[in-house]
Structure 1
Amino acid sequence: METEENQKLPWEKVSLGERILAGLIDIIVAALLSLFPKIGWMFGLIYLLAKDSFSFLDGQSFGKKLFNLRTIALPHHSSLSGWPEKSIIRGLVLIIPILNLFDLYYLIIHKVRIADRWAETRVIRNQDWEESGS
């Protein structure tokens, strides 16, 4: 796997604020889904784990849709709708206590999540991905 420094992508980096706000929206969506009686917690958990790979959302979570962001699979530069395992890796890091705090710290310091490194993904602006013809 190439390091972030060696990997030249044709897209501008997404701001930390946009990523955090999109993530908060996704947490709110998951919390709302979990309000369904008896099985709601499963809907919320499934959403958190696979939110970037749902084909009915075109490979974007609700938060990313609102901020016009997208998570792509590297090195293919394709939507995660074809790579659900990458979305699940990213989601697992988000829901594991302590690891999620370390992931947030890593995002703030290095501008990329640990989950993105492990899953070989990046968050980009959706129009950059569309313009590249992916």
Structure 2
Amino acid sequence: MLRKLALIATLAGSAAAFGQYEINWFTIDGGGGTSAGGVYTVSGTIGQPDAGIMGGGNYTLSGGFWVGVGEDCPADLTGDGVIGLADLAQLIAAFGTSLGDPNYDPGADITGDDAVGLSDLALLLSVFGTSCP
């Protein structure tokens, strides 16, 4: 019986020694967005563990409820992977509008301040001609 316990303890110890994966930290990140219709606007958020892309060694993990939806390249308004003339044209079409205006385009509101203005234009121009990661 004592030999069996020693064997089990040895196997359990060696299995633990080979385990190289661990989670030794975490964060709670926010996610969500704003929905608008007519005169009503609803903003929502939810806590979610480690939203976004995390990496270590040869591994990466995309976490969160909206995996793939993010602001890794917010100036790419058309979603084609390049910040170019089409993105600039979309921003200019909505320039000067704000939430509730008929021509307001939330995609062109890069800063997320519910208005398409100079700060959005400056951000787009600062990365104009580049590709998204």
* TM-score bracket, shorter-length normalisation: under 0.3
TM-score (structure 2 length as normaliser): 0.27
Q: Which has the higher contact order (CA 8 A, sep 6+)?
A: 1
Normalized per residue, which structure has more strand?
A: 2
TM-score (structure 1 length as normaliser): 0.27
